[in-house]
A and B are shown apart, each in its own frame.
Chain A
Amino acid sequence: MKLSREFLKGIADENPILVIMLGLCPTLAVSTTATDAFGMGMAFTFVLLGSNIVISFIRNFVPHQIRIPVFITVISTFVTIVDYALKAYVPSLSKSLGVFVPLIVVNCIVMGRAEAFASKNRPIAALMDALGMSLGFIIVITILGAIREIFGNGTVFGYRVFPASYQPFLIMILPPGAFLVIGFLIAINNTFFRREKKG
């Protein structure tokens, strides 16, 4: 098993959002601005890295029947650490992400990677998997946030790109805009980046 493949698959071929389509709820909800989206991506990365590595290390000690409660305990520990750290050091981001930070506990991507990958592979492979999946997640959610912010508010990362007279295309920062943009992103990924799956 090649490690580079474990890393690269998360970006286009098995992108957690565009192909596996897990964790859409936080993805759609916090991508109203590029800054929030990127912050969410970083918090998510920390949790996925931590939980994937720890779960991979303990995978042989945990009896099969209780693996889910153990996974949840590990994941929620990392989420709580992130939540406290954000509250203490980046209170503004913590405020705008709100309830979606604690909700990373039930983010299906984290749970899905723990169950489908980390519990069956070596820690080094789990690390590469987590890095690739996180990068795929950050890229997509940040693009999504940037597009919605540009059209819905005329700014990106808080910097104005359209003149102040620009009449914002409100639907883009409302929920329908999120679905619209993610649909286009999925189509673009399927057409240009995702290699045909064999068999």
Chain B
Amino acid sequence: MKNFVRMSFTLFVVCVVAGSLLAVVNRATKDRIAENAIRETESALKEVFPSATDFREEVKDKLWDAYNDGEKIGAVLKTSTQGYGGIIEIMLGVDNQNRVSEVKIVKHSETPGLGSKIVLDPFLDQFKEKTAEEIFLKRDNPSGTIDAITAATISSRAVTNQIRKALQSYIESYIKEQH
């Protein structure tokens, strides 16, 4: 019995000390971590819509409206899909003509050297100024204009199809809003 009390007490003391220490560290770093997250989102928004000066979050972590001098010039969508190696998170800018402005891969775990090329400009630049109807892989659809990356068709297809879906659902909900 004595042993039991001593064990519980020791563990209790260790946990209290550890807990208080972590509380202090959390307090010291919390603001900075939150700030970093905001800064990261802002720079990502700026990257996919360079001509916009101001962004307003419409749907939390999913949809932002892009403004330039108070005038709405488009939107930024964030969407995700299953790739070859895991979830791929994509951000894309959409202008007022419902064309893609820029695309950025926020997060992915595709194979290094093969699928990981989806983050590079030669692939992503293909989406610039395309409408939803053009965003297919060339090999999947005759109206497609996107070249898949060699040896990474699954990753390329996942990104391409998800960009089209996100764009289409944005256009649908946007047009509904207008009526």
Contact = CB atoms under 8 A, between A and B. Distances in A.
Whether A and B are associated in the same complex: the answer reads: yes
B7 A91 contact: no
Contacts of A88: 29, 32-33, 36
Given A87-B29, A88-B29, A88-B32, A70 B11 contact: yes
Contacts of A32: 112
A75 B175 CA distance: 55
A77 B18 contact: yes
B114 interface: yes
Interface string A133-164: 00000000000000000001100000000000
B42 interface: no
A61 interface: yes
A70 B7 CA distance: 10
B11 to A, nearest CB: 6
A63 B7 contact: yes
Interface of A: 32, 58, 61-63, 65-66, 69-70, 73-74, 76-77, 80-81, 84-85, 87-89, 91, 152-153, 168, 170, 173-174
Q: 5 shortest A-B CB distances, which residue pairs?
A: A88-B29, A88-B32, A170-B113, A77-B18, A84-B29
B33 A87 contact: yes
Contacts, number: 61
A85 B29 contact: yes
A1 B22 CA distance: 35
B113 A74 contact: no
Interface residues of B, number: 21
Contacts of B112: 32, 152, 170, 173-174
A57 to B, nearest CB: 12
Interface of B: 3, 6-7, 10-11, 14-15, 18, 21-22, 25-26, 29, 32-33, 36, 40, 111-114
A100 to B, nearest CB: 13
A58 B21 CA distance: 17
Q: Main secondary structure on chain A at its contact with chain B? A: helix
Contacts of A69: 11
A59 to B, nearest CB: 12
Contact of A174 (B3, B15, B113): B113
Contacts of A76: 18
Contacts of A87: 29, 33, 36
B40 A91 contact: yes
A54 to B, nearest CB: 9
A66 B114 CA distance: 48
A85 B33 CA distance: 9
12 contacts: A32-B112, A61-B10, A62-B14, A66-B7, A66-B10, A66-B11, A76-B18, A77-B18, A81-B25, A84-B26, A88-B29, A91-B40
A62 B10 contact: yes
Given A77-B18, A170-B114, A70 B10 contact: yes
